[in-house]
Amino acid sequence: MLAEALGTGLELVGGWLDCGRSVARRIGAQMVDPLARLAGWGDAPHAPAGDPPAAHEPGGGETPPQSQVEEAKYYLGPARAPAARFVDRESGELPRAYGCDRILLLLRDPWWAFTYWEITPATRVHALRALGAEAEGARELLRVYDVTFITFTGDNAWQSFDVELPPGADHWYLNVGRPAASFCVEIGLATPGGRFLPLARSNVVTTPRATPSPDATVRWVDVAAGAVRESVRAWEGTPLASVASAEQAAAEVGEGRPRSSDAHTPRTAR
């Protein structure tokens, strides 16, 4: 654990250089009413802030056939009838706000997280009052903290980076840029003088590893029904690298494969 923590500390430096670059790359999010956007009634679909990198793609970059099969479950034909055909639909609208201060962080993949928030007008007013004269020129921003292996107290993060927000933003994609690390985010007001007043703090999320673990500990447990216990089994084998072995095995049976075949492409309107 200690060794891993130390390793993580060293990796941080490189990781945060990458983060800095990605922050510079980030562009402002266009704000579109989420309720209008959801049914395509609004403007162009909202583009997540920044330029998402190609995530690790176990299934390849194109829409994999597996997604096509799942889509095919719902494919009845290309034309869609108008919404009027629902007589049992609800007529109301979802609230635009829920009236409490909250910021949440959700994991997207080893490099990206998504955050959304709501800050009530009362909290904003209160915060601006608290800033007094400094409130002049204060901007809303997100401060993202690396809290890997830390119980975060507000000032003990390994590192942090800021995301400036355009007016009215209520969600953002964050390029945290580092697998196997923990993050949390605050939304707050930054004054021209450099002061940061947090308005709300999120939950912590931990990005998954994107490579095999360096931890080669081998411990066995007995999971026979009803009881889980340590097993004393000794093991002196050679670890199998799952993916490499799979590819090698595939290469060995390469002969006699079916010939290349046509893949269906769903004709859904895109």
Site residues (CB under 8 A) for another protein, limited to 4-43: 34-35, 37-40
Closer CB to another protein, residue 175 or residue 190? Answer: 175
Binding segment (CB under 8 A) for another protein, from list 18-26, 132-140, 143-151, 243-251: 243-251
Q: Segment 120-179, which members bind another protein (CB under 8 A)?
A: 171
CA dist 49 to 16, 146, 169, 255, Å? 19, 20, 11, 46
Query: Cα separation of 30 and 173, whole Å?
Result: 12
Q: What does the longest C-alpha to C-alpha distance in the chain come to?
A: 77
- Binder of another protein out of 77, 121, 132, 167 (CB under 8 A): 77
Q: How far is the CB of 139 from another protein (least distance, A)?
A: 23
**The total number of residues written for the chain in this structure:** 270
- Binder of another protein out of 23, 104, 135, 150 (CB under 8 A): 104
Q: How far is the CB of 77 from another protein (least distance, A)?
A: 4
Closer CB to another protein, residue 149 or residue 220? Answer: 220
Q: What character string, x for contact with another protein (CB under 8 A) and - otherwise, covers 175-214?
A: ----------------------------x--xxxxxxxxx
Query: Cα separation of 50 and 114, whole Å?
Result: 12
Q: Torsions phi, psi of 244, nearest 5?
A: -60, -45
3 binding another protein? (CB under 8 A): no
Q: How far is the CB of 47 from another protein (least distance, A)?
A: 6
Contact 103, 201 (CB under 8 A): yes
- Binder of another protein out of 2, 10, 86, 133 (CB under 8 A): 86
Q: How many Cβ atoms are within 10 Å of 239's Cβ, its own excluded?
A: 9
Q: How many Cβ atoms are within 10 Å of 202's Cβ, its own excluded?
A: 22
CA dist 254 to 13, 17, 58, 65, 92, Å? 43, 43, 20, 21, 58
- Binder of another protein out of 46, 135, 141, 162 (CB under 8 A): 46
Binding segment (CB under 8 A) for another protein, from list 129-137, 145-153, 182-190, 251-259: 251-259
58 binding another protein? (CB under 8 A): yes
Helix ranges (H only) for the chain are 2-25, 34-37, 65-73, 121-131, 242-252
257 binding another protein? (CB under 8 A): yes
Contact 134, 193 (CB under 8 A): yes
Q: How far is the CB of 38 from another protein (least distance, A)?
A: 5
Burial class (CB in 10 A: 0-12, 13-18, 19+), 119: buried
- Binder of another protein out of 43, 70, 136, 164 (CB under 8 A): 70
Query: Cα separation of 191 and 206, whole Å?
Result: 30
234 binding another protein? (CB under 8 A): no
